Amino acid sequence: MNIENPTLMFSENIDNAQKITWKCPSNIAIIKYWGKHGIQLPRNPSISFTLENAFTETILSYKPKEKPDNTIDLAFYFEGVENETFKAKQLKFLYGLVQEFPFLTHLSLRIDSHNSFPHSAGIASSASSMAALAMCLCSLESRLLGKDSPLQEGSDVFMQKASRIARLGSGSACRSIYPIMAIWGKLEGIEGSSDDYAIPFEHEVHDVFKSFHDDILIASRGEKSVSSRMGHGLMDNNPFAEPRYAQARTRMTALVEALKVGDIETFGQICEDEAMTLHALMMTNSPWFTLLKPNTLKMIEILRGYRETTKMPVYFSLDAGPNLHVLYPNSVEKEVRGFINDELKPYCENEQVIFDNVGRGPKKI
Ligand code: PMV
């Protein structure tokens, strides 16, 4: 099969080869990626839990173009409605991939995408959406290349490529490709780790972390005042950047050890330190900014008090936004859910909470 000329294949096979659907989850970084260089290359390694209930489902439909040319013919639908703003973003991404996927200019494409969480929930959807699109593109490539290609769906090379492509769309998306946990960024002592793509970390992780919960408490649903792209950029002039990157490495090594042996307390401490470091970095830019809201801090204060009094293993993390991620092992689910519902939910916008947990990664539909 000539991948540069998929038209041939379609004339043979047009009916059953027109759609590819992937459902991809979001992820929450425990060691944060904040600061980049080159084309979405990280300044420090990061590690995340892959989630389950917060996901994007993307359908990539394709048919041969009447007359192939150098342009990409795309229609983009978000939640059933044609969306020109999202389309422009996706086109920019796809044009950057034409050398990698020459078939992009030979097909008419339609992308239908929707999230499991409300768009207005203030949850970044770039990780799950770019991961879902990357999986669709790699599946399409694999289909066009046929059975003899090493890029068979689900193979190690396929996953690595999907992770790399997702990274080009949104750095953190490269970690959403794998179940349970993924590491992105070169780190001494972690074989195969790379700045180009994430690698799976499931098999090294103690069982207690594989059923961890991550409930997302919506402190504010508003649009972020500073995008993560701008935030990464501001790190270039942050006076604490270099020590921060070194700190992330040291914390990674300590966290990896805690994850292996099932040390929840060390995990929790590093997790919270990282969340606060991320937001402290934002506040040490000049001019400074903060994405935290009064209710974020209120909930952190209450959570800390609850942990001190009850000795429950419950910790928080934060993404680049005001919403609080509450992390805890499955063994205390009942108690912590009760606590969240009674004591934290009143501080959430419209009492909105997304109950989530560590998940099995992307799923082809
Ligand atoms: O993938 P981006 O460019 O949206 O950056 C994400 C950065 C954080 O979510 C704050 C941290 C991370 O590692 O996911």
293-319: average pLDDT: 98
* Whether pLDDT at 2 is above 50: no
In whole angstroms, what is the distance from residue 350 CA to residue 365 CA? 32
- For residue range 155-201, list pLDDT tens digits in order: 999 999 999 999 999 999 999 999 999 999 999 999 999 999 999 99
299 CA from centroid of ligand 1 (Å): 22
- Give me the pLDDT at residue 31, please: 98
Given a cut of 50, is residue 5 above it in pLDDT? Answer: no
Spatial distance between the Cα atoms of 56 and 46, rounded to a whole number of angstroms: 22
The pLDDT tens digits for 100-120 are 999 999 999 999 999 998 776
Q: Is 357 in the pocket of ligand 1 (CB under 6 A)?
A: no
Task: Give the mean pLDDT of the chain.
Answer: 93
Tens of pLDDT, residue by residue over 210-228, are 999 999 999 998 777 788 8
Whether the CB-CB separation of 63 and 55 falls below 8 Å is answered with no
Which segment of 67-81, 304-318, 343-357 scores lowest on mean pLDDT?
A: 67-81
**Cβ contact 44:244 at 8 Å:** yes
C-alpha of residue 43 to centroid of ligand 1, in Å: 12
- The dihedral through the CA atoms of 228, 185, 127, 278 has a sign that is negative
Taking the whole predicted model, whether its pTM rises above 0.85 is answered as yes
78 lines ligand 1 (CB under 6 A): no
Q: How far is the CA of 364 from the centre of ligand 1 (A)?
A: 24
Residue with tokens 């929707």: 114
Look-up: residue for tokens 């590690």? Answer: 47
Q: What pLDDT is attached to residue 89? A: 93
| 8 vs 265, higher pLDDT | 265
Cis omega (within 30 of 0) on the bond before 102? no
Give residues with Cβ within 8 angstroms of 93, minimum separation 6.
Answer: 130, 133, 168, 169
- Which region among 117-121, 226-230, 285-289 has the lowest average model confidence (pLDDT)? 117-121
Nearest atom, ligand 1, residue 126 CA: 4
The reply to whether ligand 1 has any atom less than 6 angstroms from the CB of 32 is yes
Give me ligand 1 centre to Cα 126, in Å: 9
| For ligand 1, mutation pick of 37, 228, 229, 323 (most atoms within 8 Å of CB) | 228
Half-sphere exposure of 100 (CA within 13 A, CB side): 15
201 C-beta closer than 6 A to ligand 1: no
Neighbour tally for 98: CB within 10 Å = 14
pLDDT at residue 4, rounded to an integer: 45
| Ligand 1: centre distance to CA 34 (Å) | 7
